[in-house]
Amino acid sequence: MKIFSDLQKYQSEKPLALSLGMFDGVHLGHKSIIDELITIADEKNLSAAILTFWPHPRFVFNPDEDLKLLNTLYEKQELIDKYAIDFLFLQEFDEDFRNLTGEEFVREILVKKLNVKYLIVGYDHVFGKNKSGNFELLQKLSSELGFEVEQMEAINIHENNISSTKIRKALLEGNIQLANEMLGYAYSVRGKVVHGKKIGRTIGYPTANIETESLKLLPKKGAYIVEVFVKNKFHKGMLSIGTNPTVNGEKLSVEVYILNFKEDIYDENITVKFRDFLHEEIKFEGLEKLIEKLDEDKMLTENFKF
């Protein structure tokens, strides 16, 4: 997959079958679009391409909104790269771009610059200044500009349309299993292991403190069963998101206890994949009660079927 962060550097090799959108999470709804895109590209001898935006348009339109994303840009690229996509276009969502009308975007970017011959959009996709671009506009322009357009229906789980917003909501409620079901994979967080207060090692549960990206969504405060990947090796783990209220902590931290693991991994980048929610953050009366709960969590983690 070739990645272009500057559309001006792209030279059309052959016409494109393309889909556009944020693709935050690259969830099962996105997968249905990508699968259709690849099928169409093969049938019509087109290159398969995705055009996405960075930063998220909501950061531009609502700069005070505390929006967290399911994927960092790197994670999104990794997830899309698992499919047989030829080109990924990363369009900077700046002032010039946000002021393009829907029709200008179709004419100047999709048709003139990218030579799109088949366009696939999601069931609720809108684009362009003042949301002036939609499926109806695409249908209107398609015959004049010589491209075909297809609108994909929503994918449902438990009679609910899958969306990035609903996945964020599930994660913030600690509903890991529903979030993972909608994503089609286990939600993950990655980051560098940094020094913490080292309280865990004094009670037999040394933890690795993970420094995460500020734009990445963290699930609800509490304890979780996780898969931990260190140096490409899998380990079982118990992860805590919270402020450590039992020891009067104030700063939010992400800490993981890795079962049967004693290596020094400071400054290593590790990935944790969320598998189940154990319990909400608890302030215990003392360290003895905390250790009792950790022992219970450890037993549940050891018996969990990964």
In the chain, what is the straight-line distance between the N-terminal and C-terminal CA atoms, in Å?
Answer: 31
The listed range with the strongest mean pLDDT (64-78, 91-105, 153-167, 186-200) is 64-78
Number of domains in the chain: 2
Q: Residue 75: pLDDT band by 50, 70, 90 thresholds? A: very high
Range of the domain at 103: 2-160
Pair (225, 151) in one structural domain: no
Task: Kindly report the average pLDDT of the chain as a whole number.
Answer: 92
> Quick one: pLDDT band at residue 96, thresholds 50, 70, 90?
confident
- Asked whether residue 232 falls in the same domain as residue 156, the answer is no
In a domain, residue 247? The reply is yes
Q: What is the predicted pLDDT for the residue at 128?
A: 85
Q: Could you give the CA distance from residue 273 to residue 280 in angstroms, rounded to a whole number?
A: 18
Considering the domain boundaries, does residue 276 fall inside one?
Answer: yes
pLDDT of residue 72: 94
Q: Which helix (H) or strand (E) holds 47?
A: strand 47-54
What confidence category does residue 62 fall into, taking pLDDT thresholds of 50, 70 and 90? confident
Residue with tokens 């550097």: 9
Instruction: Tell me which H or E stretch contains 256.
Output: strand 253-258
List Cβ neighbours of 146 (8 Å cut-off, separation of 6 or more). Answer: 111, 117
The CATH code of the domain that includes 36 is 3.40.50.620
The letter for the amino acid at 283 is K
The pairs formed by 168-171 with CB atoms below 8 angstroms and a separation of 24 or more are 168/68, 168/70, 168/217, 171/70, 171/217, 171/219, 171/220
Are residue 151 and residue 199 in the same domain, yes or no?
Answer: no
Longest CA span, the chain: 73
Q: pLDDT of 224-272, one tens digit each? A: 999 999 988 999 999 999 988 877 677 899 999 999 998 999 999 999 9
Portion of the chain with pLDDT greater than 90, in percent: 73
DSSP letter, residue 245: G
pTM of the predicted model, to two decimals? 0.93
Radius of gyration of the chain (CA): 22
- Sole residue written with tokens 């009670």: 203
| pLDDT number for residue 133 | 84
Exposure of 210 in the CB half-sphere (CA atoms within 13 A)? 27
Are the C-beta atoms of 102 and 1 separated by less than 8 Å? no
> Do 206 and 102 have their domain in common?
no
The answer to whether residue 198 scores a pLDDT higher than 90 is no
- The per-residue pLDDT for 247 is 72
Q: Do 294 and 233 belong to one domain?
A: yes
Token digits for 258? 């890795």
